[in-house]
Amino acid sequence: MAIVRSKAPLRITFAGGGTDVSPYPEEKGGAVLNCTINKFAYATLETTPDGEGTTSVESLDYNLTINYQKESDLVYNGELDLVKATLKTFRASLSDGHGADSIRMFLHSDAPAGAGLGGTSTMCVALVGAFQRYLREPWTLYEVAELAYRIEREELGIRGGRQDQYAATFGGFNFIEFAGNRTIVNPLKVTPEVQNELAYRLLLCYTGASHYSNDMITQQQVNYAERRAETVEALGGTKQLALDMKNELVRGNLDQMGRLLDEGWQLKKRFTAGISNDRIDHLYAKAREAGALGGNLLGAGGGGYILLFCDFSRKADVARAVQDAGGGVTEFSLEPSGLQTWPVRASEA
Catalytic residues: 164
Contacts of 218 (CB under 8 A, 6+ apart): 159
Helix or strand (DSSP H, E) at 59:
strand 55-59
* Residue ranges in the chain assigned as alpha helix (H): 24-28, 81-95, 119-135, 141-149, 163-170, 192-201, 213-225, 229-251, 254-268, 278-290, 315-324
- Cα–Cα distance between 128 and 158 in angstroms, integer? 17
For residue 250, which amino acid is it?
V
- Rounded CA-CA distance 1/95 in Å is 16
- Give the separation between CA 177 and CA 161, rounded to whole angstroms: 12
Question: How far is residue 175's CA from residue 338's CA, in Å, rounded to a whole number?
Answer: 15
C-alpha 35/C-alpha 246 separation (Å) is 11
Instruction: Let me know the angle formed at the C-alpha of 182 by 168 and 26, rounded to the nearest 5 degrees.
Output: 110
- Beta strands 182-187 and 173-179 are antiparallel
**If you count them, how many residues does the chain have?**
349
Cα 170 to Cα 124, 276, 332, distances in angstroms: 14, 30, 19
